[in-house]
Structure 1
């Protein structure tokens, strides 16, 4: 079948050339839905430029996935990377975020665990749900709904009965979905030739295990998904970054490590990789975990919880679904985007009144205020966060009409924020394999002694922030004093002011 690639002008990667099968996928309602899901969720209410969406990010990831696969193919013919491999990797990059809900991670990380569950059972049955699961389901739904199988076959993909028994490559449909989900197991890093567990994949064999590291790399955290969103988010946020993903692609090679093959880079690229992980930390610190971004996302999730059972979305067979149950039906989920915010905000229904009031506070910039943050030197759990929130609110009176202008129970919110280099408290470079200029085939790990003494030694930090729902000066000063006393009783550092605009009445 003749190929007529389409060129898209992208602000990050320039002129991007896309395979016609990718264009066919892009033109489906399931993919077009991503135009209406903001990449950075609530950060748009803090950074005016952060209006970009999952649609353009997914196209960027597809482009970079193809660029990396083709670069490896050109440098190392012995890898036997086929056109099928490249196309599958591009499709996985394009479809890896199909399962995101309204405001991206706000939906699966904050809203879903809280929705439709009484206190004490928060997130029961849904707490482990990830958007990658919905991405795979949406991919299946998209292929079936738009009858894409025939076109996929015409462009050389093989799946189902088309897979030949002695074919070195497996089922392409399975391969794409495995890449969307991400690698299941991590390679032990204690030695270069470890005893590996049984190969868990059916799409490709161990000799092509490196292909699973291109879109979603769970072993090192270095993949084209991050390459795109680091560059794209920094651009739209107006934040400068020094990491150059094009340099990584230029130096990428595949080396054998035991039974598996891994994507490695030159040993001299250690500093560039640390710059990448530092970029990740800076984006979290300045944007993703920004104190106002976090509380706005908390407020949106709170509004969604209140509106959950009152928003009905028609799914397959005419069945109706709520905001939280729509993840179980892809036809309903296709209709669920950021537009639900405006649907609640503009509603005149009595049932949505409480949810609407919360969103109106966001629009009017009367959001909950950050009292400050402290940095305790301890490992934190969700149970500790729940206990602290209960402790802070314990001595406060119940909300009543008579004390509506005073601090009451439930007015104080505790948020625990962890920022790291991608591997929690570990050095991410410890999981990375390198090669040297003199030996392109042998993979090795860089020892601490070989690294610059100016590089970081701590790779994770945890902050405790406290917010107050009431924003009058009296309540805020009372809440700030309570937060300071609580930190002192726990033996934690005195909290830094969260909102210096709060007038001090003392």
Structure 2
């Protein structure tokens, strides 16, 4: 049997993975993740954001194993076996196989290029890519320790997609993979409250590469995690004293969105790349199974073609001499020449404020300014559950009764914690980049701001 392998990771240190995980890592479908930026267009703003989906996926697999093993050791009555641990690790390893070029940006491109696919998510492609790996690289395995049973494959697919009892409709059945161990579905993609090892890794990894301080300690969460029965269902809970650590988790998420993920420059750059991909879509041909050719947006329908699709398509368009790609190429040249639209400013969004802004821009026809040269973007920030507090979905136990978990009592809630969990900004860009026009646009916006009420007064 192939031995396990050791990886040296900047976030988790020495990481040792099971031979079956190593076999998956060694496939072209997983190696492809080396060439897909974790943060997409953020790299154009933060030079350190050069990390890829490859190392993130290995990190999630490692943390998945750490959490499940800790639960198994702490609570042997849960009957977590070796195969459970292995399946959870594989789900962590494969959960991002379906990301396309520039990660989440590619989903936006698919929705624009193929409106009939407006419900497409990268998790769907992750499952398809995992199926491809199983069919082409794992089915011939004869070693019983390395062979996944059909029920295991179902379990892994269910964990990649994510499951929550709150999503169940009347008549829905429980997941097939591990219906007697539903708490395992909360490890990789926790649909109940968003507290999972995927988030633990990407927040720590992104903060590290962006140079942003991370005050959340995932080691403490793993240390105090227990499975308790809540309303007749077993779920992963933590100590009551760990509530402040969890608030640090979601505050870090907000901070990264505010400073990086929704940065005004990276957002407009991703918008330009998306526009270029739409223009280039039908002119990019990728060979898939059976020699069939697929366009950029059609590649998600064939995993052999999708395996060949990475961030390199950006350079393919930019360096192309094909006349039919000229329009897309010129859009990308704006990024290379740093001639992307300028952000004129942003303000907290209220309905009244939005109406005034849109009305002013629509009527902008003076001093050489035109309404079509402005672009309005609505930016949303939250703690991961829209306007709800995800901590309210977590259950806590205390050291005297570790088998009982409930909501955190009001007398244990700090007054320093936030009371609102979502906000929206309206952001305005100006498409022309010559200094004279930009100065006029800035002046116009400043005059508008002086005439408009403070957004706080309209609430």
User: TM-score of the superposition, structure 1-length normalised?
Assistant: 0.85
Q: Confirm or deny: 8 A CA contact 2:162 2:185 kept in the other structure.
A: yes
What's the offset of the Cα at 1:283? 0.6
Aligned partner of 2:144 among 151, 154, 176:
154
Deviations 1:352-387 (A, max 9, x none): 11211121121122211101001123599xxx89x9
Shift of 1:472: 1.6
Which secondary structure state, in structure 1, belongs to the residue aligned with residue 116 of structure 2?
A: coil
Shift in Å at residue 186 of structure 1? Answer: 2.3
Offset at residue 407 of structure 1 (A): 3.9
Counterpart CA distance in 1 for 2:14 and 2:72 is: 21
1:183 aligns with 2:140: no
Q: CA deviation at 1:94?
A: 0.3
> Aligned-pair distance for 1:93?
0.3
1:238 aligned partner: 211
- Number of residue-to-residue matches in the alignment: 456
The alignment partner of 2:246 has SS state of helix
Q: Which residue of 1 aligns with 2:122?
A: 131
C-alpha contact 1:102 1:336 (8 A) present in aligned 2: yes
Distance of 2:352 and 2:447 partners within structure 1: 21
Determine the structure 1 residue equivalent to 2:318. Answer: 345
Counterpart among 383, 387, 397 of residue 425 in structure 1: 387
Partner of 1:461: 423
C-alpha contact (below 8 Å) 1:34/1:98 kept by paired residues? yes
Correspondences of 1:180-259 after superposition (within 5 Å): 180-186=160-166, 199-205=173-179, 207-259=180-232
How do 1:479-494 residues align onto structure 2 when only pairs under 5 Å count?
479-483=441-445, 491=453, 493=455
Equivalences for residues 405-420 of structure 1 within 5 A: 406-408=368-370, 410-420=372-382
Q: 1:119 maps to what in 2? A: none
Matches within 5 A, 1:442-481: 442-481=404-443
- State the 1:149 CA deviation: 2.2
Residue aligning to 1:115: 113
Structure 1 distance, partners of 2:172, 2:240, is 30
Deviation per residue, 1:462-505 (Å, 9 max, x gap): 111011111123322333355456667875649xxxxxxxxxxx
Q: Distance in 2 between matches of 1:197 and 1:379?
A: 43
Question: In the alignment, which residue of structure 1 is the partner of 2:46?
Answer: 47
Structure 1 residue ranges without an equivalent (≥5): 117-123, 161-170, 189-194, 398-404, 495-506
Aligned CA distance change for structure 1 residues 63 and 378 (closer, same or farther; 3 Å): farther
Q: 2:351 & 2:93 partners in 1: Cα distance?
A: 39
Kindly tell me: are residues 3 and 254 of structure 1, through their superposed partners in 2, closer, same or farther at Cα, counting changes over 3 Å?
farther
What SS does the aligned partner of 2:117 have?
A: coil
| Alignment partners' CA distance in 1, 2:95 and 2:257 | 21
**1:175-199 CA-partner distances (Å, limit 9, x unpaired):** 00000001144289xxxxxx99754
Helix, strand or coil: the match of 1:292? Answer: helix
Q: State the alpha-carbon separation in 2 of the partners of residues 156 and 438 from structure 1.
A: 41
Q: Which residue of 2 aligns with 1:173?
A: 153
Deviation track 1:29-64 (CA, whole Å, cap 9, x = no partner) reads: 000000000000001010101000000000000000
* Cα distance in structure 2, aligned partners of 1:152 and 1:486: 71
Q: CA deviation at 1:394?
A: 6.0
Report whether the alignment pairs 1:289 with 2:262.
yes
- Per the alignment, residue 80 of structure 1 pairs with 79
Q: Is the 8 A contact 2:40 2:105 kept in 1?
A: yes
Aligned to 1:275: 248
Higher deviation after alignment, 406-415 or 130-139:
406-415
Q: Report if aligned partners of 1:420, 1:460 keep a CA contact under 8 Å in 2.
A: yes
Which protein has the bigger helix share? 2
Measure how far apart 1:157 and its partner are.
4.8
Contact conserved, 2:285 with 2:295, CA < 8 A, in 1? yes
SS at structure 1 position matched to 2:308: coil
Separation of aligned partners in 2, 1:360 and 1:434: 53
CA distance 1:94–1:390, shift in 2 (3 Å): farther
Structure 2 counterparts to residues 291-370 of structure 1, below 5 A: 291-370=264-343
Deviations 1:304-326 (A, max 9, x none): 11111111111112221111111
* Distance in 2, Cα, partners of 1:390 & 1:125: 32
**Structure 1's 137 and 44: CA in aligned 2 closer, same or farther, altered over 3 A?**
same
Aligned equivalents of 1:209, 1:83: Cα separation in 2? 16
Partner of 2:27: 28
- Rounded to whole Å, the distance in 2 between the matches of 1:379 and 1:323 is 40
Q: 1:120 is matched with which residue?
A: none
Match of 1:503? none
Question: CA–CA distance in 1 between the matches of 2:134 and 2:174?
Answer: 25
How far is the alpha carbon of 1:218 from its aligned partner? 0.9
Is residue 43–residue 293 contact of structure 1 (8 Å, CA) maintained in 2? yes
Give the corresponding residue for 1:69: 68
Match of 2:361 in 1: 392
Aligned partner of residue 213 in structure 2, secondary structure: coil
Equivalence for 1:163: none
